[in-house]
Structure 1
Amino acid sequence: MPWVIAIMMFLTVLAAAAGLGLGTAASSLDEDTGTRATVQIVEPNPDRREAQARAALAVLEGQEGVESVRRIGSEEMEALLEPWLGPGGLEGDLPIPAMIEVDLSPAAYARLESLRAAVTEVAPSARVDDNAQWLAPLAGLIRALRWLAGALVLLMIGATAATVVLAARASLDTHRSTIEVLHLMGATDVQVARLFQRRIALDALFGGIVGLIAASLVLLVIGARVGALGSDLLGSAHLPVLSWAVLVALPVFGVALATVVARATILRALGRML
């Protein structure tokens, strides 16, 4: 049973870590793009594009609820487009739209349509994009995966409880004659149950620690590989200290669950024996 519980705990920790990491990624996504908009000045003529960009900046800075306005510089635009266009892709006459990032308060975000109208009035070539709208499918996928991870954790907890029940019944059948002798000597069902639950608790503790260590090593390796990718989205799915505390607490919960289930199973079986 200890090795079966170790496998169960290994899978439970991985599923819980996935759910916690996705929760961190969802929170980071909401903080970064929840009330942020992007203004693009799509104008081929560079002079008119620059004039409209300055006019849009002036309008945005004067709007109520606009917390910050930042125009993306040419060097940053080149760095963003280089993976697709190559190092020399921007040396020609390719028109690059002017980009402006706008951080809004929740009240201003609710009035995004009026903000869009004010910007397009002074900059006809402007296009105001709602970042949260573009990322809504990704946010929905993250929520679905979080629910899936939670369901897997619950299934693994149920499977662990079923494993303890089967192990307790098998152990009880193996030591039936010894239990009868203990009853003849005056031992109560509670005293007999304590012997079984202590043994099962130790097995569950050993299996839980082994499963936690194995899962932690896997998570550390995956974290190092994800960090090497340099992806901001994947990097946001990290595990803070509180999440690691939850993962460490899972073996303790597993021991408590195994003890309670073993005690209930043994007492019920002993009651039927008499």
Structure 2
Amino acid sequence: MIFPFSATPAERRLLTEGRLSGPMPWVIAIMMFLTVLAAASGLALANAARNVTGGIANRITVQIVEANPDLREEQTRAAMAALAAMDGVSHVARVPDEEIDRLIEPFLGTAAEEEGIPVPTMIDADLSEALHAQLGEVEADIAAVAPAARVDDHAQFLAPLAGLIRSLSWLALGLVLLIGSALAASVILAARAALNTHRSTIEVLHLMGATDIQIARLFQRRIALDALFGGAVGFLSAVIVLLLLGQRIGAVGSELLGSASLPWTAWLVLFVLPLAGAVLATLVARFTVIGVLRKML
């Protein structure tokens, strides 16, 4: 039995089970807290990388840089019509002039147009992956109807960012593995310490004919309960922190930060982590105890 949570009263009296008094459950709680945070960071970053490469990266911005306002407006309408007529363009929208004014206000002030400084118009368009691969042809078609147009590809400046996000997600996965290894090491130390503490009891059990498997079941049950309690405490603490961080990120209102969210599948993965930690702790305790008991014979 891997999870012998049920035990007879006699078996429970053989080993004390002060789960709240010992350090083991609290060590596991701290490790589970860090594990959930690292895993959530990795999953959120992976989701952000998918959103960046799959959605925002296929977006282009067309700027109509023309000093003559009438000609600029004419070319803007022509460029929007050309984009709307292309197969693979899912969305075409002109950036409001008020938003452009807010973008240039820190640099040119509030009266750039009145002072004779030409302000270009901007058009956002979402392309399919197939059409984005033919961006040169798209630029040529736009230039044919709007010679003053300049096409900015979001993928050019998002590619390094997407690479950084992927690297950070792999780093988060590495942290999860390292913390899992530290959890296994702490369980080994705790199991060995428990065996040394109850050495006399173990010798009596051996003399009475108890097998190594029966004795190991007593220790693994104790460690499994400690791991479940500590894992639950660490998981709930991490969930509270994640919810608070999610509220702060949502208040920022950034599209890029908003893409680093946790889908429901990621929450399922996080929910499994405490159970996986308990399974890992129990298996490590079982093999550790059996190995030590065989050397004691």
TM range (shorter): over 0.9
Unaligned runs of 5+ in 1: none
The equivalent of 2:235 in structure 1 is 212
The equivalent of 1:74 in structure 2 is 97
The equivalent of 1:203 in structure 2 is 226
- Which residue of 185, 191, 198 maps to 1:168? 191
The equivalent of 2:144 in structure 1 is 121
The equivalent of 1:155 in structure 2 is 178
The equivalent of 1:19 in structure 2 is 42
Higher mean C-alpha deviation, range 177-186 or range 213-222: 213-222
Q: How far apart are residue 138 of structure 1 and its match?
A: 1.1
The equivalent of 2:71 in structure 1 is 48
Match of 2:254, as an amino acid?
S
The equivalent of 1:5 in structure 2 is 28
Alignment of 1:249-260 (within 5 A): 249-260=272-283
Tell me, yes or no, if the aligned pair for 2:101 and 2:110 is still in contact at 8 Å.
no
Question: 2:281 & 2:147 partners in 1: Cα distance?
Answer: 67
Higher mean C-alpha deviation, range 133-142 or range 145-154: 133-142
Call closer, same or farther: CA 1:228–1:60 in 2, change over 3 Å. Answer: closer
Q: How far apart are residue 89 of structure 1 and its match?
A: 4.8
Unaligned runs of 5+ in 2: 1-23
Query: Matched residue of 1:237: which SS?
Result: coil
The equivalent of 1:235 in structure 2 is 258
Query: Matched residue of 1:34: which SS?
Result: helix
Q: How far apart are residue 77 of structure 1 and its match?
A: 2.8
- Which residue of 42, 58, 62 maps to 1:35? 58
Tell me, yes or no, if the aligned pair for 2:64 and 2:150 is still in contact at 8 Å.
yes
1:33-73 CA deviation, whole Å, 9 max, x = no partner?
13221111111221221122122223223333333322223
Q: How far apart are residue 178 of structure 1 and its match?
A: 0.9
1:222-265 CA deviation, whole Å, 9 max, x = no partner?
22222222222222222222222211211100000000000010
Question: 1:150 & 1:45 partners in 2: Cα distance?
Answer: 54
1:271 aligns with 2:294: yes
Higher mean C-alpha deviation, range 170-179 or range 220-229: 220-229
1:166-217 CA deviation, whole Å, 9 max, x = no partner?
1111111111111010011010000000000000001111111111121112
1:245 aligns with 2:268: yes
Match of 1:30, as an amino acid?
T
**Alignment identity in percent?**
60
The equivalent of 2:86 in structure 1 is 63
Higher mean C-alpha deviation, range 52-61 or range 192-201: 52-61
Match of 1:188, as an amino acid?
T
Question: 2:293 & 2:119 partners in 1: Cα distance?
Answer: 79
Match of 2:81, as an amino acid?
A
Match of 1:252, as an amino acid?
L
Q: How far apart are residue 91 of structure 1 and its match?
A: 6.2
Match of 1:18, as an amino acid?
S
Call closer, same or farther: CA 1:33–1:249 in 2, change over 3 Å. Answer: same
Higher mean C-alpha deviation, range 151-160 or range 96-105: 96-105
The equivalent of 2:285 in structure 1 is 262
Tell me, yes or no, if the aligned pair for 2:57 and 2:158 is still in contact at 8 Å.
no
Q: What is the alpha-carbon root mean square deviation over aligned residues?
A: 1.8
Query: Matched residue of 1:198: which SS?
Result: helix
Question: 1:127 & 1:204 partners in 2: Cα distance?
Answer: 60
Q: How far apart are residue 79 of structure 1 and its match?
A: 4.6
Match of 2:90, as an amino acid?
E
Match of 2:239, as an amino acid?
S
Question: 2:246 & 2:82 partners in 1: Cα distance?
Answer: 43
